Amino acid sequence: MTAAIYYHPEAYTTSGPKLMGRNAAGESFLRGFLAHSRSDTFWVQVEKPEHAQHFAQTVQSFGRREAVKAVDKNSLAALAQAGTVYYPGPGIGLHAWRRAAYGHGAWSLCGITHTTSSAGAMDAIADLLTAPVQPWMR
């Protein structure tokens, strides 16, 4: 089992116009993941094909030559092969709803919260009360 990274380039860079703590944390996480992962394939979940291309370029810039497998809204079932989806924020409720069509245990969801002061973060946390999130034990 490995992890698919939900990837939007803005979430993993400190070179954008408005630097936030989540950008620094995302960039640091990705740098560590690419430096220490022992996976033979990098999985990425994206909303847009160009984000998958950006991720593949980032992987190569770290000297990694492993294959990159991209998953989009039309191929979500493939996430079961990765086993886990890492989402760089607290909003895993939406991803739990998307996963529900394939079974609540099809893959685990992992999110992170850097701050809860924004309206979006507070809404995402409240959404966890009604979203089909599950305890994960494998």
Q: Residue 45's closest CA among 114, 99, 125, 101?
A: 99
Q: What is the mean pLDDT of the chain?
A: 90
Q: What is the pLDDT of residue 108?
A: 94
CA dist list (Å): 47 to 11, 37, 97, 138: 13, 23, 16, 28
Q: Is residue 97 part of a domain?
A: yes
Residue 54 contacts residue 81 (beta carbons within 8 Å): no
CATH label of the domain that carries residue 21 = 3.40.50
Alpha-carbon Rg for the chain, nearest whole angstrom, is 15
Q: Kindly report the CA angle at 123 between 107 and 43, in degrees rounded to 5?
A: 30
Q: Is residue 137 part of a domain?
A: no
Residue 80 belongs to domain spanning:
4-127
CA distance linking residue 107 with residue 45, whole number of Å: 13
Q: What is the pLDDT of residue 128?
A: 73
**Domain total in the chain:** 1
Q: Is residue 132 part of a domain?
A: no
Q: What is the pLDDT of residue 135?
A: 78
Q: What is the pLDDT of residue 112?
A: 79
CA distance linking residue 75 with residue 88, whole number of Å: 20
Q: What is the pLDDT of residues 10-54, one digit of tens each?
A: 999 988 788 888 888 899 999 999 999 998 999 999 999 999 999
Q: What is the pLDDT of residue 1?
A: 63
Q: Is residue 136 part of a domain?
A: no
